[in-house]
Structure 1
């Protein structure tokens, strides 16, 4: 969505125009759901997360507040916070092979993992990353965001995002190449 279009939709959304809210939902719901499903490993929790994101957006808009720009980053920041809160309450994660019924590729992480057993190893290795590292990897490689977009969404400097991504990739490479057990 272009900055001009985003600004116009946000102005209309602040006036609580139905079609603007529908447009925002239609534009961002699929990506937010994929993001939440991959991180939470549970379709029901992903739906709950996305519903909470849009409820919180509606709440701030009704109070005359909310984002003036960078709507995508604002929405993903809400999802990030909700997921982080969820992780604090429930330490165990289960990242399924296909949480939302659509195929997604792990080839962005490595070209050396073509078969399903290697994809399962990658999913398990992702659970060994810190929550911030895992979110950076998901946004960068699954959602194809650039570092600036990730920084806005997570509320961190771009340099910190680069460092998190680097450490995550190094950790994944080490886990996958060493063939270590992934069980905690």
Structure 2
């Protein structure tokens, strides 16, 4: 739902519920990848939508698309979280594997996920965000650029540099 510059009176209860349904899962995935903890990701989602509702209630205009606004709020929440506390990266927090998965493969997968998470956390914020939105969430460049407040070309360049750094961080282990 890409609602452009909507006045507060346009957000009736049905619209707000639809907006939450459309965006809460992707905001949760973003927060979970960034924070590595389900409870924190849930807190982030709740706060993102609370801030959105407060903004709507005060009548402050929303410029740009709402999805980009929600991700900016989520990103700021994550950054604030890490500023307030030293990151205690719970690299073990991963979705549960299938019950019939080979334990050796599960361990290998878990180690790879931990290494990827470490590599992502080592990227500068804007590079990590472009990878999460563009590669993991499959957003178009235009939407990523909107969230970052940059041009499409700049977001492409950020993605290129981020992927280059990720490849470099993995290449010694794989060769």
Q: Which TM-score applies when normalising by structure 2?
A: 0.79
Q: Does 1:23 align with 2:18?
A: yes
Secondary structure in structure 2 of the residue aligned to 1:88: helix
**Take 1:69 and 1:168, find their aligned partners in 2: how far apart are those partners?**
26
5+ residue gaps, structure 2: 98-107
Aligned equivalent of 1:128 = 122
Alignment partner of 1:172 is 2:127: no
1:142 aligned partner: 136
Deviations 1:105-134 (A, max 9, x none): xxxxxxxxxx51333322222222112211
1:77 alignment counterpart: 72
Between Structure 1 and Structure 2, the one with more helix by share is: 2
CA RMSD, aligned part only? 2.6
Question: Partner of 2:33 in structure 1?
Answer: 38
Mean alpha-carbon deviation: is it higher for 23-32 or for 152-161?
152-161
Deviates more, 1:86-95 or 1:166-175: 86-95
For residues 56 and 102 of structure 1, the distance between their equivalents in structure 2, rounded to whole angstroms, comes to 31
- In the alignment, the residues of structure 2 paired with residue 16 and residue 98 of structure 1 have an alpha-carbon distance, to the nearest angstrom, of 36
* Structure 1 residue runs without a partner (length 5+): 104-114
Q: CA deviation at 1:93?
A: 5.4
**What is the aligned residue count?**
163
